């Protein structure tokens, strides 16, 4: 997965400076991806620990298949960038949904009928996922470029071959001026990748956890990050484009259109309140229902060990992840190039701090140390973004950071709900039979209902924002 860091910076670069000349930089995409897949495949085979073939057969085939699937996906990255830049949301939803559904169906069928295939199953499923994803984008843009739709006229390409590796008009395979600019974005993407998934590289290269603990951590990480992937990530991607179009990079608030500044401040305040309440709900109720969730998901093997503690800590991490996603979304959409470069130095220091804290906290607390290190990392990043947003709106009457302050009565309801569900867990969960579990779930449902009712009556501005932005059909019917 490391070689895909090259594409992260490239995507950000093309999204920000999309033009016909810039598209030529995709020449380096597939060759670099192929090089990194071969190099890292060799590292996985020759340097890192290889599982016992009797326990994990076909390991080599799995590594090769995932490397090939990543190269295939690189062919579709330019189309993904164009879809993002021109807000083709429907295309993205259909392509990714269809790919994931077919991947899950194939995995389920092969696991049921051919369980002895082992890694062959997941390798074939991954190849199917990337192939379907790329073909969905290719087919859509082939139809678009062959039609007379208005969107076609604004595209920075005239044909499908413009997005394939080729020799440019001046005879160069790479435009080095554009490559230098891409390098700065690659640096930022590399550092952000370390900050986001640094613990995985620590586990892979330093063996700070055994395979059993890594498996439990991965299960908890996948369960805990469901909300981040399904809710927070689509919001961040959509509103990053919104902020980038509303605000002018590098300009003071006083020198921009005040209507746009007010709109951006209102949206930012509502988004912060929205993700904050989601994160608080997950943190409060996740503490009392982590053990039950793991027991239902994986039985006593997960619920009796370190799993519940990991998931409880991860619920707190989700809260920080939610706030950080929106604050960095606004920050990167409004920063100038010079500010982005300065931020890169801060991220470099954060990367070293995060890696060191991950190593020592894991040695001290085990797998929980990774989550503590992630929380510390997210806290520092949130502080940086909040400082930037405060200074950005300092000369205006708008205070979007007020979105991080829920109503006092709502805070009391959250505290009471946490106490009540905590007591319920002690007396009803999880070794007292299914009847006690159902009662525990009912207690949580009542507390959650009381919390939602309180939100509805105390956070009226947020409710109006949700109705207008996420429920437009409801608003139209009401009017």
Express as a percent the part of the chain with pLDDT over 70.
75
In angstroms, rounded to a whole number, what is the distance separating the alpha carbons of residues 169 and 23? 13
Per-residue pLDDT, 284: 92
* Alpha-carbon span 7 to 210, nearest angstrom: 31
For 83-109, the DSSP string reads: HHHTT-HHHHHHHHHHHHHHHHHHHHH
In sequence order, which residues have a C-beta less than 8 Å from that of residue 63 and are 6 or more positions away? 41, 44, 45
Among candidates 387, 390, 382, which has minimal Cα distance to 265?
A: 390
Q: DSSP for 400-431, please give it.
A: GGGGG---HHHHHHHHHHHHHHHHHHHHHSSS
Q: What is the pTM for the complete model shown? A: 0.70
CA distances from 340 to 336, 347, 381 (A): 6, 10, 14
DSSP state of 471: -
Q: Is 364 helix (H, G, I), strand (E, B) or coil?
A: helix
Classify residue 132 as exposed, middle or buried by CB count within 10 Å of its CB (0-12, 13-18, 19+). Answer: middle
| 10: confidence class by pLDDT, cuts 50, 70, 90 | very low
- Is cis: bond before 303, omega within 30 of 0? no
* pLDDT tens-digit map of 362-405: 777 777 888 888 888 888 889 988 998 888 888 888 888 888 88
How far, in Å, CA of 18 to CA of 370, rounded? 38
CB atoms within 10 A of CB 8: 17
Q: CA–CA separation, 15 vs 27, rounded Å? A: 16
CA–CA separation, 199 vs 389, rounded Å? 29
Q: How far apart are CA 288 and CA 444, in angstroms?
A: 9
Encode burial over 139-151: b for 16+ CB neighbours within 10 A, e otherwise: ebbeebeeeeeee
167 pLDDT more than 70: no
Contact 25, 178 (CB under 8 A): yes
More confident residue, 349 or 160: 349
| Angstrom distances, CA of residue 94 to CA of 76, 97, 101, 287, 404 | 15, 5, 10, 35, 34
Region 71-88: mean pLDDT is 78
* 244-258, 286-300, 464-478: the lowest-pLDDT one: 464-478
Question: Which has more confidence, 50 or 296?
Answer: 296
Reported confidence tier of residue 280, pLDDT bands at 50, 70, 90: very high
- Average pLDDT of the chain, as a whole number: 77
Lowest mean pLDDT among 167-171, 175-179, 314-318, 387-391: 167-171
**Residue 159: predicted pLDDT:** 67
Enumerate the domain spans of the chain.
1-164, 211-398, 406-468
Helices marked H in 335-367:
337-365
């Amino acid at each position: 997965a490391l070689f895909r860091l090259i594409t992260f910076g490239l995507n950000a670069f093309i999204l920000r400076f999309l033009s016909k000349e810039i598209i030529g930089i995709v020449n380096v995409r597939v060759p670099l991806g192929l090089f990194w897949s071969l190099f890292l495949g060799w590292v996985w085979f020759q340097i890192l620990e290889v599982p016992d073939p009797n326990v994990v057969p076909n390991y080599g085939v799995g590594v090769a298949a995932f490397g090939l699937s990543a190269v295939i996906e690189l062919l579709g990255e330019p189309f993904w960038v164009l879809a993002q830049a021109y807000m083709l949301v429907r295309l993205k939803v259909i392509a990714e949904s269809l790919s994931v559904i077919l991947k899950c169906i194939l995995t389920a069928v092969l696991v049921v009928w051919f369980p002895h295939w082992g890694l062959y199953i997941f390798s074939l499923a991954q190849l199917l996922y990337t192939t379907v994803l790329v073909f969905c984008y290719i087919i859509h843009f082939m139809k678009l470029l062959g039609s007379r739709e208005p969107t076609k006229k604004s595209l920075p390409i005239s044909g499908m071959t413009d997005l394939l590796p080729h020799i440019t008009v001046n005879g160069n395979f790479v435009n080095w001026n554009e490559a230098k600019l891409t390098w700065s974005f690659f640096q930022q993407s590399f550092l952000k990748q370390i900050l986001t998934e640094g613990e995985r590289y620590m586990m892979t290269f330093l063996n700070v956890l055994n395979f059993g603990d890594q498996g439990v951590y991965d299960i908890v990480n996948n369960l805990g990050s469901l909300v981040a992937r399904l809710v927070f990530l689509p919001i961040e991607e959509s509103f990053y484009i919104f902020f980038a179009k509303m605000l002018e990079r590098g300009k003071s608030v006083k020198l921009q259109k005040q209507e746009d500044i007010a709109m951006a401040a209102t949206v930012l305040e509502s988004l912060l309140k929205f993700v904050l309440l989601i994160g608080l709900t997950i943190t409060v109720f996740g503490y009392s229902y982590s053990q039950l969730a793991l027991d239902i998901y994986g039985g006593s093997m997960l619920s009796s060990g370190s799993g519940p503690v990991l998931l409880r800590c991860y619920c707190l991490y989700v809260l920080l992840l939610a706030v950080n996603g929106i604050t960095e979304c606004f920050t990167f959409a409004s920063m100038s190039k010079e500010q982005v470069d300065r931020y890169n130095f801060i991220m470099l220091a954060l990367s070293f701090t995060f890696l060191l804290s991950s190593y020592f906290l894991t040695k001290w607390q085990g797998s929980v140390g990774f989550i503590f290190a992630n929380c510390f990392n997210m806290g520092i990043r949130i502080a940086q973004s909040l400082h930037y947003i405060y200074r950005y709106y300092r000369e205006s009457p708008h205070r979007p950071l007020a979105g991080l302050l829920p109503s006092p009565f709502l805070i009391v309801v959250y505290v009471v709900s946490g106490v009540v569900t905590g007591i319920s867990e002690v007396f009803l969960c999880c070794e007292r039979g299914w009847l006690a579990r159902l009662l525990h779930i009912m207690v949580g449902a009542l507390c959650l209902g009381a919390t939602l009712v309180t939100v509805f009556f105390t956070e009226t501005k947020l409710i109006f924002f949700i109705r207008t932005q996420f429920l437009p059909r409801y608003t139209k019917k009401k009017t």
